[in-house]
Amino acid sequence: MKLLEYQGKQLFENYNIPVPKGIVIEDENDIAGLHFPCILKAQVPVGGRGKAGGIKSAESIEDAKEKISELLDMNIKGFPVRKVLVEEKVDVKKELYLSVSLDRSRRTPILMISNEGGVDIESVADELIFKELVNPLIGIQQFHIRRIISKLKLDKENEKEVAGVISKIYKLFRDYDCELVEINPLIISSKGGVVALDSKVIINDDALYRHSDIVSENEELTPLEKEAKEKGIAFIQLDGNIGVIANGAGLTMATLDALIYYNGHAGVFLDLGGTDDPEKVKQAFELMKKAKPRVILLNLFGGITKCDTVARGVKAVISKEGIDCPVIARIKGMNEDIAKNILKDAGLITAESLQDAAKISCDMAGD
Amino acid sequence: MSIFVDEKTKVVVQGATGHQGRFHIGEMLSFGTKVVAGVTPNKAGEEVHNIPVFDNTMDAVSETDANTSLILVPAKFAKDAVFEALDAGVKTVVVITEHIPFHDAMEFVHYAKYKDAVLIGPNCPGIASPGKTKVGILPGSIFLEGDVGVASRSGTLTYEIVNSLSEKGIGQSTCVGLGGDPIIGMTFIDALDAFEKDKKTRAVVLVGEIGGTAEEDAAEYIAGHIKKPVFGFIAGRVAPPGKRMGHAGAIITRGKGTANSKIKAFEEAGVKLAFFPNEIAELIKKYS
């Protein structure tokens, strides 16, 4: 789950990482106690908001009121702005980049730091980003910090402060099951201290159950994706017009890929997982229908999951509620013959191979 | 021969008395696996398919000499169960459980290394050596004994590929599911290394997908160390960046982990790639 900037900064404050003084505003008429000049930042869970006009500065109450109202009317990359973070302006002497994330290959947290802060880190040359891996069994030690910080060539006072922030964000990363804790920029102010001007914190969804203090304000999902998530179904809406239902993430992806061979495009990725529970199959089909694909392609491999059980679930939904688009089914594995007969009986088109099924789906979905 | 598991594998199942535990103990027994013990706290003295159940893994190992643990416990309790297995001295741990927080996985993967144990998963279907044993939830019916090694990040897609190999008469030496999570124990490199040394294996199939750099790492290793022919499949060619495609680990982040990057790395390392899952069998017949 991606936290909004202000939520990340609240966590930073809990860990004694300095952040600018600020307040969160949801209504432009509710702005008592601001100090000027100040910075107004739209709270959305996407990058590039500065370029999209989501960050402004204000010199007076009237100015702030007008600009906050503008921000609250904005929609940035599909995300409506519901909150604005208003912060005091900080004079910047130097901008650093600092993050802790996951090195999947080494299976460890990785610290990254750079003198090239304040810009998109992907645009920074690799040799300008310094990295340190931390074995999670020993955790962060002074030698890690000494080693990485010496590369920045800061003066002693700043070095000490940045070192403090490094050990604090590592602790935050581990305590809150984070995928990413990023401060970009971490600035050295003209008065001397370090301040986290921005925050990007992503928490591992699988660990949210142990962080009940974190409230989701993330609106990244479409309404149907949200509904699917609540029902525990892996469901993603895409740009095409073919709805793909398969069992297993890899097989569902492979089915999506098969479509491009015949110039077709998936509109829905729906992974049934290891289930043959008729109720789950029913829910999955109902969701798929709501997404209004032109064609549905069902690709099943029955191993432990029995093909005929899934087929019975599919038939039950279709014969009870009807379906207004063609359904092409490719069924393989345990009890496939019984399953094919059940599905033919329900009016589905059955195909022998994934290639055939993909080709028929693309032909029928084409204009 | 086979890799990591064989006739000497004696399995303790942690999470033995639940629905999944009972079902898969039965499936493993009919495949020929030596399941010797089950573990469920407070259930000592019970039996599942005539296999004794113990309160803890230490007791199970000392009573039965189990050397391999299969973890079927819910995600919240998985870290505890893996640590328990490693401390009880088993040398191979197979973690089936999905949705384990990856910080937990990070810890037990490193602890397994410290204990010099092999850890497979999490979020994987397990490992099978046809004719010998299987430790996990892979369907027994798809396998044929033979000489092709399979390592995969996926479950059902692997069954699909293995099934099509078996239908065409291409048997398998060992098939290992590495898991769909961002943090996993055994990697493609570990599997490749074992398959290269295994006299019975003559070719290797790697089934990869978007997310991370496991395939790129494997490609580099293949170029330097692997002489046996390697065949590959990559899922997720059309996956949009930033979307988690069903597996926790199947996500393109910050431009990293795309199918294109993996395909390119595999091709440069001489891996023969299939576009459709059922083409792997034809490629193997043609090139090995």
Residue range A128-138: mean pLDDT, rounded:
97
Q: Kindly report, residue by residue over B187-245, the tens digit of the pLDDT.
A: 999 999 999 999 999 999 999 999 999 999 999 999 999 999 999 999 999 999 989 99
**What's the confidence (pLDDT) of residue A351?**
95
Nearest-by-Cβ selection for A206 from B101, B156, B214? B101
C-alpha to C-alpha distance for A65 and A67, rounded to whole angstroms: 6
State the pLDDT confidence band at A240, using cuts at 50, 70 and 90: very high
Find the catalytic residue in A87, A132, A182, A225.
Answer: A182
β-bridge mates for residue B129, sequence order: B133
C-alpha to C-alpha distance for B255 and B238, rounded to whole angstroms: 14
Q: Which residue of B has its CA nearest to A305?
A: B139
Give chain B positions within 8 Å (CB) of A238.
238, 240
Whether the per-residue pLDDT at A210 is higher than 60: the answer is yes
Closest CA to B129 of B120, B118, B138: B138
Exposed, middle or buried: residue A322 (CB in 10 Å: 0-12, 13-18, 19+)? exposed
Tell me the nearest-neighbour CA distance from A216 into chain B, angstroms.
18
SS3 category, A284: helix
In chain B the domains, ranked by start, together with CATH numbers, are 10-120 (3.40.50.720), 139-287 (3.40.50.261)
Q: How far is CA A280 from CA A221, B82, B88, in A?
A: 21, 30, 38
Whether the per-residue pLDDT at A363 is higher than 80: the answer is yes
**What's the confidence (pLDDT) of residue B139?**
95
Q: Does residue A159 carry a catalytic annotation?
A: no
- Other C-beta atoms closer than 10 Å to the C-beta of B179 total 32
Q: Which residue of A has its CA nearest to B111?
A: A137
Dihedrals φ, ψ of B240, to 5°?
-75, 150
Q: Do A253 and B111 lie within an 8 Å CB cutoff?
A: no
Which two tokens mark A149?
């910080």
State the pLDDT confidence band at B3, using cuts at 50, 70 and 90: confident
Q: Do B250 and A253 lie within an 8 Å CB cutoff?
A: yes
Q: Does residue A261 carry a catalytic annotation?
A: no
Find the catalytic residue in A97, A132, A170, A336.
Answer: A97
Q: Which of the 8 DSSP states describes residue A213? A: T
Give chain B positions within 8 Å (CB) of A303.
138-139, 141-142, 156, 159
C-alpha to C-alpha distance for B207 and A246, rounded to whole angstroms: 17
Q: What ipTM does the predicted assembly reach?
A: 0.95
Q: Which residue of A has its CA nearest to B23?
A: A304
Q: Do B235 and A250 lie within an 8 Å CB cutoff?
A: yes
Closest CA to A99 of A126, A117, A85, A125: A117
**How far from the centroid of its chain's Cα atoms is residue A182's Cα?**
15
Q: Do A107 and B109 lie within an 8 Å CB cutoff?
A: yes
Whether the per-residue pLDDT at B286 is higher than 80: the answer is yes
Tell me the nearest-neighbour CA distance from B199 into chain A, angstroms.
28
The sign of the CA dihedral B196, B197, B203, B209 is negative
Whether the per-residue pLDDT at A322 is higher than 90: the answer is no
Residue range B178-183: mean pLDDT, rounded:
97
In chain A the domains, ranked by start, together with CATH numbers, are 22-88 (3.30.1490.20), 92-210 (3.30.470.20), 223-365 (3.40.50.261)
Tell me the nearest-neighbour CA distance from A102 into chain B, angstroms.
9
Which two tokens mark B83?
């640590």
State the pLDDT confidence band at B1, using cuts at 50, 70 and 90: low
Q: Kindly report, residue by residue over B127-148, the tens digit of the pLDDT.
A: 999 999 999 999 999 999 999 9
Verdict on whether the full-model pTM lies above 0.90: yes
Give chain A positions within 8 Å (CB) of B111.
137
- Amino acid (1-letter code) at residue B254: R
Tell me the nearest-neighbour CA distance from B223 into chain A, angstroms.
18
Give chain A positions within 8 Å (CB) of B240.
238
Q: Kindly report, residue by residue over A280-292, the tens digit of the pLDDT.
A: 888 999 999 999 9
State the pLDDT confidence band at A367, using cuts at 50, 70 and 90: low
Closest CA to B137 of B123, B117, B150: B123
**What's the confidence (pLDDT) of residue A219?**
64
Q: Do A249 and B111 lie within an 8 Å CB cutoff?
A: no
Q: What is the mean pLDDT of chain A?
A: 93
Q: Could you give the angle at which helices A354-365 and A249-261 cross, rounded to 10 degrees?
A: 60
Whether the per-residue pLDDT at A347 is higher than 60: the answer is yes
Q: Kindly report, residue by residue over A332-342, the tens digit of the pLDDT.
A: 998 999 999 99
Closest CA to B126 of B99, B155, B105, B149: B155
Tell me the nearest-neighbour CA distance from B158 into chain A, angstroms.
8
